[in-house]
Structure 1
Amino acid sequence: MFATERFDPQHVTRILFEGFSSPAIALFYLVGFAAIGVFCWGTWVQIRKYRRGQPQGAALALVPRFIDMCRTVLTHRTLVRRDPAAGRAHRLIFFGFALLFLGTSTIALDYDVIARVMGRSIWTGNFYLWFSLVLDLAGVALIGGLLYMMARRGWIKPPKLDYTRPDRQPGDPDYDRSFYRREDWAFLWTLIVIGATGFVLEASRLVWLQARPEVWELRWWSPIGAGVAEAMRGAGLDADGAGALRSGLWWFHGALALTLIALIPFTKVKHIVTAPASLMLRNPLAAQRLPRQSPDSERVGYSTITDFTWKHLLNLDACTKCGRCHEACPARASGAPLSPRDVILSLREFANEALQKNALPDEAKLSVHGKDVGQVFMETLWSCRTCMACVEICPVAIEHVPIIVQMRRKLVEDGAMEPQLQKTLQTIHKTGNSFGESKRKRAGWTKPLPFQIKDARKDPVDVLWFVGDYAAFDPRNQKVSQAFATLLHDKGVDFGLLFEGESNAGNDVRRVGEEGLYELLAENNIAMLGASTFKRIVTTDPHSFNTIRNEYPEFGGKYEIEHYTSFVQRMLEEGTLKVRRPLGYRVTLHDPCHLGRYNKGYDAPRRILQALGCELVEMARNRDNSFCCGAGGGRIWMPDPVGAEKPSQIRMREAGDIEGLEVFVVCCPKDLTMFEDALKTSGFEGRFVVRELIELITEALAEPASVAGMAREPAEDALLA
């Protein structure tokens, strides 16, 4: 190549300390080792902080996790979701910074190790030229990404980057989080200045050594530096002036870079370590399968910051304040005093204050519950719907829901909850259901049916239908249950129930934080299921589906279970069910949190609607971005603040934006309850109706002649029902 043809390759290089005296070089190494020492000490402080947390539990398969983490980091797949512009900018920053870091490390390795051991440098000739080109391009990528992030914070200003806290009032000592904005800008400006001074430093060296052909004639291998050098010469800068500029800038650039390294463990920059670590330790069932309470534990749940597992303490440090969880949270959107991001940041501030000291403070000062600075309010924790929107969208795998539930367990232990919730939990403990009805009435909805349903405790069945509380006791949902039972009977499905042997599955009881009651319910149901003979379980309740599928196995109850939508979809595809009357309705579908985000059951309901001949129009938020109805996490058992807009009403407004919408389709008993109420209170009654997917299936399977009033619109059918 050009370099080796005209010049000695050993002269095509850059002498690292050219023009510096031995004392100056010694001073640089002294400063560098000091920076590394501060970094190591800060790293130890963070490790000590994590070690003050509780053990994580079972050993993890680290190799496959490390590979998956590398794939996630390199593809940025979690960062480009729902915010592709920010993801692309971060990709530029990440790869630009990584290449520059690797380049600097290569230079240090060559100068301090290879050259001293081998007596010659590898940083010469063609390698040096390509090296210079790649690092110039990396610097451009870094600065370009940083400039976009600056514009994003300074001019675009997306609401999710507003650090205003919904859980505090102006004047509260920890209401102001302007220091986070200052930290963001300091981080951006530091990297911008390091990148920019790197180019100016490169340009000043070119002008300083312009008399050397092996430097000046090969300058365009550093295109950005060469362009700046031409501008400097055009402005009248000579070699002597460039040499003086280069000398001063060299120290400034180096000192700034070393300061950044020293401060990594104490600032936002540490996310370059904690975020990948959090991703590597990610639990794919973090919210779907909550941790059991150890019977040997002295305390229930998270009472103090030292009750947290070391992994959850690491999660706190992994947060980059991107605001995606803040934006996705239905509680925050409805005005509740909860932002998942602010919970994590409050706990992080608390952990840093309490656990980074040489000695732990008194236990009274370790409590994370209360109204003091850094503590999390009871009202904040009870606002959570455990819908998993925060966990699902977090790009660094923070486990907001398990952390909140662990903190709720402490509140439940202390009786610090809404009186209505406490009464409901007592009712469930007494009767096995949240309606307070006698167990003998659980199958009361079957009495109007013209056929008998098998008792799976007595007779073997192919399919055991786990009904759930709302589908069994709520009058509106009882009609849906009767329709599904009729469908199964008419198609010859061999199915049965547990009748009064069934109890509340406990999914929401567990997410409330009442672990003892949950384990009692789970053990009762598992005992009943164990006394029955069946091949698989089908449920119409996504909440029951989640806990039986994901949590019962830890208690010895491992079953083949599916939600009714996948069961019916298969029957339609196999021809067991035949559509006799294509509906032709213009519909939208609400993805239930526990079927969708929790268990990825997105496709079956859509395929059913397609088979029924419906025109599906998606709402803006659908599938993994579906907006919670507001019932989860026990919130259906708690009153909402008077005058506050409910998540279900927000969802109705979203559906109301669809022109010509006829049917709002749900496939969850709690969704049916929440959205039919919201339809009335949000002003959309009469424009469209809320219907269970089972009802549409029944309508489409009926003989045309047997469907009364076929020409009526769905809204009219509902009003006349």
Structure 2
Amino acid sequence: MLSVILPTLLFASLALAAFGALRRIALWRRGRPAQVDVLGGLLAMPKRYAVDLHHVVARDKYIANTHVATAGGFVLAALLAIVVHGFGLHNRVLGFALLAATALMFTGAVFVYKRRLNPPARLSKGPWMRLPKSLLAFSGSFFLATLPVAGVLPEHFGGWAMAAILGVGVLWGVSELFLGMAWGGPMKHAFAGALHLAWHRRAERFGGGRSTGLKPLDLTDSRTPLGVEKPKDFTWNQLLGFDACVQCGRCEAMCPAFAAGQPLNPKKLIQDMVIGLAGGNDARFAGSPYPGKPLGEHSGNPHQPIVNGLVDADTLWSCTTCRACVEECPMMIEHVDAIVDMRRFLTLEKGATPNKGAEVLDNLIATDNPGGFAPGGRMNWAADLNLKVMADVQQAEVLFWVGDGAFDMRNQRTLRAFVKVLKAAGVDFAVLGLEERDSGDVARRLGDEATFQGLARRNIQALAQYRFTRIVTCDPHSFHVLKNEYAAFGGQYEVRHHSTFIAELIQGGRLNLGQHTGGSVTYHDPCYLGRYNGEYEAPREVLRALGIEVREMQRSGFRSRCCGGGGGAPITDVPGKQRIPDMRMEDIRQTEAELVAVGCPQCTAMLEGVVEPRPAIKDIAELVADALIEAPLRANSVASSKREAAQVNP
């Protein structure tokens, strides 16, 4: 009987799965065209799965090992089941191979079941709670059905009753695992995820690469939509990426806005985009809702506007673009790209940037800086420093990109400290002076691609007049934009963050430093230096050179908590239950450090905005400038030279 039931169930489910796969692909293809390497992506997919994806999954050893056993066992078991039971190749070697594969899968499924007995809050419940049982049913049923093939039990053991039980188990298993891949359900992520890895919109992320710059809009093509209004306005491989979500909630657990009680949950945002693929509402979403927004009130379809249908505008404006969600996602989904795409429509088409957003964008257009300060005052902070200006010298080893911290009295201290360091090291540097404009970072994150591109092109035009080896800046946001986003407009530069450049100066023996004499120090990683550009070690090297033992926060490095200052968040100012910088300061207090070292003007402003008592905040450049002992040495050297001259010429 099993010789009839099993092939029938296997091939019927495979046929239905193939039909469902075509239907799923049709849903993705509702999106806009995107260029991908179809064959190359498919060939690269196994390595991307085994290496890049599992590099992220492996951060949780329990689920990594569980996933290897369950997924690996399932793939082997499914292929062997089709050969052995589908085509009837009853070979003992194949039988034992299938027994081993199902046993491996069953072992993994037991651990999946154990995890689901008391799942973490970040995991979606609902249909996901039945998945362990389906995995056990599939592996257990095929294990028992294969025992006669391997010669362990006699053929037709158990009679009709056993055949009926195994038939039900196989039906349950193939319905979830084969049909579910294509028609919906927890296993949908396996089919969509494999193709997402093959045709990822940022293929350069694989193989140890990094890709964090936003993709530009073609503002010269009237057919190109200005951002994303409806689900169908996403590219088809973005829609495919959303469908790959495994609802693990790692992004939710890392999101600073969600933790602060603002109306954003990146996991739910991605699932809302999945709802938009085929139409429906969020009433059946089995995870955490957006804080303050009940389930069942949002719906949409591919042809309906997303905002106020699938999501509310304040959900999009809550994002700090810190990229913690992207860094944590085991399926390598690009949440920030999607959010900025939707912001672009609201800003460019609707003019609906909230709170002070419109004022800041108007300031950038009128004065080239977000604060609306008179452009002629850009160099007032350095009136007594006698800095070289590129227009006068035409070339320098280093172009010091000052940034809009030039208009902020607190950040001026950092700029002056860094100038002191550059001079102490004898660096040949110059500034653009009044030719420098805002880098455009905040305009782009607020969705104003037109203003960003205007600023970028004017800055590139100014830079093209002069010769320099590299650009150095104290602002990670300017650093990121100049390094990773200007290239699309013809501006390719070697760019250094000031902490990296100072570390190079120290390693080269160009700075004579004393030891830090203050109290204990913790270091706060800026999102746009760390997660966006992978620089975690250079700032710590500088601190170690000062004799500082860094007290690491629990959330540091690639898991550092955002200060709340990125993505225009202080401008759009969406309220929550608490402030993100207050949460970060609590992380700091747990280290009992007396001083916080920072490397970003936004971080400085946000952390200093926390009410006292709290540790002092100092930029790395300030700490290094305080430790310089080169000036006294030079004075002693001058005095020594005079004494020697007096002895030679009495």
TM-score (norm 1): 0.79
Indicate if the aligned counterparts of 2:231 and 2:306 stay in contact, CA closer than 8 A. no
Return closer, same or farther for 1:637/1:535 CA change in 2, 3 Å cut-off: same
Q: 2:213 aligns with which of 284, 288, 293?
A: 288
Q: Distance in 1 between matches of 2:413 and 2:82?
A: 69
Return closer, same or farther for 1:639/1:140 CA change in 2, 3 Å cut-off: same
Shift of 1:76: 5.4
Return closer, same or farther for 1:341/1:313 CA change in 2, 3 Å cut-off: same
Return closer, same or farther for 1:258/1:675 CA change in 2, 3 Å cut-off: closer
Tell me the secondary structure at the aligned position of residue 187 of structure 2: helix
Indicate if the aligned counterparts of 2:387 and 2:431 stay in contact, CA closer than 8 A. no
Shift of 1:434: 1.1
Matched, 1:675 2:607: yes
Return closer, same or farther for 1:365/1:317 CA change in 2, 3 Å cut-off: closer
What are structure 1's unaligned runs of at least 5 residues? Answer: 1-16, 112-120, 164-180, 207-213, 220-225, 230-238, 356-362, 707-721
Return closer, same or farther for 1:556/1:346 CA change in 2, 3 Å cut-off: same
Larger Rg: 1
Q: Distance in 2 between matches of 1:546 and 1:76?
A: 25
Equivalent residue number for residue 398 of structure 2: 463
Q: Distance in 2 between matches of 1:464 and 1:65?
A: 44
Equivalent residue number for residue 160 of structure 1: 122
Indicate if the aligned counterparts of 2:425 and 2:505 stay in contact, CA closer than 8 A. no
Q: 1:419 aligns with which of 355, 361, 370?
A: 355
Equivalent residue number for residue 629 of structure 2: 702
Structure 2 letter corresponding to 1:292:
L
Shift of 1:305: 1.4
Equivalent residue number for residue 47 of structure 2: 70
Indicate if the aligned counterparts of 1:457 and 1:531 stay in contact, CA closer than 8 A. no
Tell me the secondary structure at the aligned position of residue 429 of structure 1: helix
Shift of 1:248: 1.8
Q: Distance in 2 between matches of 1:252 and 1:153?
A: 23
Equivalent residue number for residue 540 of structure 1: 474
Shift of 1:391: 1.1
Q: Distance in 1 between matches of 2:29 and 2:551?
A: 50
Q: 1:662 aligns with which of 573, 577, 594?
A: 594
Return closer, same or farther for 1:74/1:555 CA change in 2, 3 Å cut-off: closer
Indicate if the aligned counterparts of 2:231 and 2:302 stay in contact, CA closer than 8 A. no
Q: Distance in 1 between matches of 2:420 and 2:53?
A: 49
Q: 2:276 aligns with which of 344, 350, 360?
A: 350
Q: Distance in 1 between matches of 2:183 and 2:604?
A: 49
Equivalent residue number for residue 45 of structure 1: 23
Equivalent residue number for residue 636 of structure 1: 570
Deviation string, structure 1 residues 46-66 (Cα, Å, up to 9, x no partner): 111122110114x43853774
Return closer, same or farther for 1:510/1:95 CA change in 2, 3 Å cut-off: same
Shift of 1:551: 0.9
Indicate if the aligned counterparts of 1:78 and 1:394 stay in contact, CA closer than 8 A. no
Shift of 1:459: 2.8
Return closer, same or farther for 1:240/1:340 CA change in 2, 3 Å cut-off: closer
Deviation string, structure 1 residues 481-501 (Cα, Å, up to 9, x no partner): 011112212322111111111
Tell me the secondary structure at the aligned position of residue 665 of structure 1: strand
Q: 1:245 aligns with which of 161, 176, 186?
A: 161
Return closer, same or farther for 1:74/1:624 CA change in 2, 3 Å cut-off: closer
Deviation string, structure 1 residues 641-699 (Cα, Å, up to 9, x no partner): 2x73211111110111113x121110011111111112xx2x542xx211100111111
Indicate if the aligned counterparts of 1:566 and 1:604 stay in contact, CA closer than 8 A. yes
Shift of 1:337: 0.3
Q: Distance in 2 between matches of 1:240 and 1:36?
A: 25
Q: Distance in 1 between matches of 2:6 and 2:469?
A: 73
Shift of 1:264: 2.4
Shift of 1:638: 2.9
Tell me the secondary structure at the aligned position of residue 609 of structure 1: helix
Structure 2 letter corresponding to 1:290:
K
Equivalent residue number for residue 140 of structure 1: 103
Tell me the secondary structure at the aligned position of residue 452 of structure 1: coil
Deviation string, structure 1 residues 559-584 (Cα, Å, up to 9, x no partner): 11111111111110110112133447
Deviation string, structure 1 residues 359-412 (Cα, Å, up to 9, x no partner): xxxx9972243333xx11100000001111111111111111011100001111
Tell me the secondary structure at the aligned position of residue 262 of structure 2: coil
Tell me the secondary structure at the aligned position of residue 159 of structure 1: coil
Q: 2:365 aligns with which of 429, 434, 450?
A: 429
Matched, 1:370 2:304: no
Q: Distance in 2 between matches of 1:364 and 1:275?
A: 22
Equivalent residue number for residue 320 of structure 1: 246
Return closer, same or farther for 1:382/1:286 CA change in 2, 3 Å cut-off: farther
Equivalent residue number for residue 118 of structure 1: none
Indicate if the aligned counterparts of 1:465 and 1:537 stay in contact, CA closer than 8 A. yes
Equivalent residue number for residue 195 of structure 2: 277
Q: 1:192 aligns with which of 136, 145, 155?
A: 136
Structure 1 letter corresponding to 2:606:
M
Q: 1:324-343 to 2 correspondence within 5 Å?
A: 324-343=250-269
Q: Distance in 2 between matches of 1:243 and 1:432?
A: 83
Q: 1:198-277 to 2 correspondence within 5 Å?
A: 198-202=142-146, 205=148, 215=151, 219=152, 242-260=158-176, 261-267=178-184, 268-277=186-195
Shift of 1:154: 2.4
Structure 1 letter corresponding to 2:258:
R
Shift of 1:280: 2.8
Tell me the secondary structure at the aligned position of residue 405 of structure 1: helix
State, as a whole percentage, how many aligned pairs show the same letter: 31
Q: Distance in 2 between matches of 1:137 and 1:672?
A: 57
Deviation string, structure 1 residues 55-84 (Cα, Å, up to 9, x no partner): 114x43853774365253368524434422
Return closer, same or farther for 1:629/1:47 CA change in 2, 3 Å cut-off: same
Q: 1:304 aligns with which of 210, 226, 230?
A: 230
Indicate if the aligned counterparts of 2:229 and 2:307 stay in contact, CA closer than 8 A. no
TM-score (norm 2): 0.87
Structure 2 letter corresponding to 1:136:
L
Q: 1:598 aligns with which of 532, 556, 559?
A: 532
Q: Distance in 1 between matches of 2:426 and 2:211?
A: 39
Q: Distance in 2 between matches of 1:28 and 1:483?
A: 75
What are structure 2's unaligned runs of at least 5 residues? Answer: 282-299, 634-650
Return closer, same or farther for 1:31/1:381 CA change in 2, 3 Å cut-off: same
